Amino acid sequence: MGFARRHARHHATPMDADARAQAMLLALDTYAVAHYARARRIGGAAVDAAMGGAPGACAVWGGRGPTDAPAAAFLNGAAAEALDFQEVLIDGRNNGHAAVVIVPALAALAAEAGADAEVLLAGLRTALVANVALARALGRGHRAGHMGFRTTALVAPIAAALGGALTVGAGADRAAAAAALAASTLPAGLLAAMSPEAGAFTADKDLSVGFSARHAVDAVRLAQTGATGPLTVLDGPRGWLPTYGQGTEDAAHLETPPDDAVLAQYALKLYPANFGCQCAIRLALDLRAEIPPARIAAVEVRVKASSAQSLSARTIPSHVAARFSLPYAVASAMLRGRSVLADFEGAALADPEVHAFMERIALVGDDALEAQHRAEGVFPAVLTVTDTEGGRHVRRLTAPQEAQSEDRRRADVDAKIRSLLPAPLADAMLAAYARSDFAAMIDHIQTPTEDTDLCAP
């Protein structure tokens, strides 16, 4: 498998400061989200106890441990997905989550193998870079029209198996075998529960990520024993691309030389909702600072056409439904003047004032914004507020942190991590990140929490 061998060679090259910082940040963000969800038993983290494994060397983030590598990968992956507060790849060819699979899988493998922090960080970088090439090669056809495969389930386990095998020192041939096994035996999750028409919004979304992370661990372990899969599986007959590409695949992207620059395409979420809501939430907060809710007569939220459909839910039976509802996310931000974790949990979901404000919000799908999304991978939004005196106030945004200073960006990341972790742990992790000390960071990530009562911020 030429793809795996190219990335194995890249794995051995030095990592520049920007790539190091981004890989560390994605690890920190994934860990913090999982820690919060596990400590509060949110989403998949509330129902996955049956997947606990045998005693082992791997921490369960925000909960008890240690356990074995497959169980830790599953439990931490499911928890990392539970808040829909995870990273997103921004690319014109494809979008999807990756760190929620890659970080739990590689952390578990590293802990089991006794790999040091720098070896793990190199593996994370390799997997994240490989994930971009795989996502670009696949295209968007797997989730278009009547199709409903999860991008994360199709792409990230292959990248994680490749990076994971290299993390445990398996070498290029065994890394190729692990990637081939992962690709040919994928647990391909479906998007059926996320349809507003179905209105299910069930925990399988989270559990699918857990299965994907565990799948990568299993593929690496099997490859280490000598097992392999077809090395033509990615683009050969009846392989991964022909099966899932649905006419949008382009195998040429598998030949692209690995480049750390693509790591900058992973974007963190600032608000605990789907990425398609992020720009609209920031615009809502900006406009709310100028116009108090009592003076807002109507709000038009214009987004790409596909988001106007998939994020249209107005019935909010669960935290997942709220996170996938533009009307709820915008109404909550405008009424409350914030968009924080508490707004998407518990009693906040049934707040009658928020539901009443949702009636003022019109959601419009825009083909031009859809075209921009398909060209650039971005999730733009245009908000128009009509005030009670008939005035119109229009704002547009292409990226959630657009036109913000570097200091503001750092402050936003700091605030997010502090909202997810207990104060002493947040202090330690952010300090380690600031001094580029991944060893200190991984000490916390790999240390089991003794008492779940101590997990809350």
pLDDT in tens, 392-439: 999 999 999 998 899 999 999 999 999 999 999 999 999 999 999 999
Phi, then psi, of 391 in degrees rounded to 5: -70, 145
Q: Which of 314, 310, 309, 307 is nearest to 332 (CA)?
A: 314
pLDDT at 214: 99
On whether the CB atoms of residues 280 and 338 are closer than 8 A, the answer is no
Averaged in consecutive runs of 10 residues, what is the pLDDT profile of the chain (457 residues)? 96 97 99 97 91 91 90 97 97 98 99 97 99 98 93 99 98 98 96 80 94 99 97 97 97 97 97 98 97 98 96 94 97 98 97 98 98 97 98 97 92 97 97 98 84 38
CB within 8 A of 6, min separation 6: which ones? 257, 258
Task: Provide the token pair at 274.
Answer: 């789907």
Handedness of CA 424, 425, 431, 437 (dihedral sign): positive
Q: How far apart are CA 332 and CA 340, in angstroms?
A: 10
For tokens 């299965």, name the residue. 211
pLDDT at 49: 84
CB within 8 A of 205, min separation 6: which ones? 43, 44, 81, 84, 189, 193, 194, 320
Give the number of other Cβ atoms within 10 Å of residue 203's Cβ. 22
For tokens 């972790």, name the residue. 421
Phi, then psi, of 302 in degrees rounded to 5: -105, 120
Task: Provide the token pair at 172.
Answer: 């290029």
Phi, then psi, of 316 in degrees rounded to 5: -120, 80
Alpha-helical segments (H) within 43-116: 69-81, 99-113
On whether the CB atoms of residues 111 and 57 are closer than 8 A, the answer is yes
Q: How far apart are CA 239 and CA 229, in angstroms?
A: 11
pLDDT at 449: 64
Q: Which of 203, 176, 186 is nearest to 142 (CA)?
A: 186
pLDDT at 457: 44
Task: Provide the token pair at 190.
Answer: 């479906």
Q: For 105, what's the count of Cα atoms within 13 Å in the CB-facing half-sphere?
A: 36
For tokens 């913000």, name the residue. 404
On whether the CB atoms of residues 105 and 73 are closer than 8 A, the answer is yes
> What pTM was computed for the model?
0.96
User: What 3-state DSSP class applies to 90?
Assistant: strand
Interaxial angle between packed helices 17-40 and 117-138, expressed in degrees from 0 to 180 and rounded to the nearest 10: 90
Burial of 79 (0-12, 13-18, 19+ CB in 10 A): buried
* Separation in Å, CA 227 to CA 87, 130, 180, 241, 304: 32, 22, 10, 22, 44
Can you list the domains of the chain with their CATH numbers? 2-267 (1.10.4100.10), 275-397 (3.30.1330.120)
Q: How far apart are CA 305 and CA 367, in angstroms?
A: 6
The angle subtended at Cα 281 by Cα 280 and Cα 284, nearest 5°, is 85
- Residues comprising the chain, all counted: 457
Q: How far apart are CA 331 and CA 309, in angstroms?
A: 17
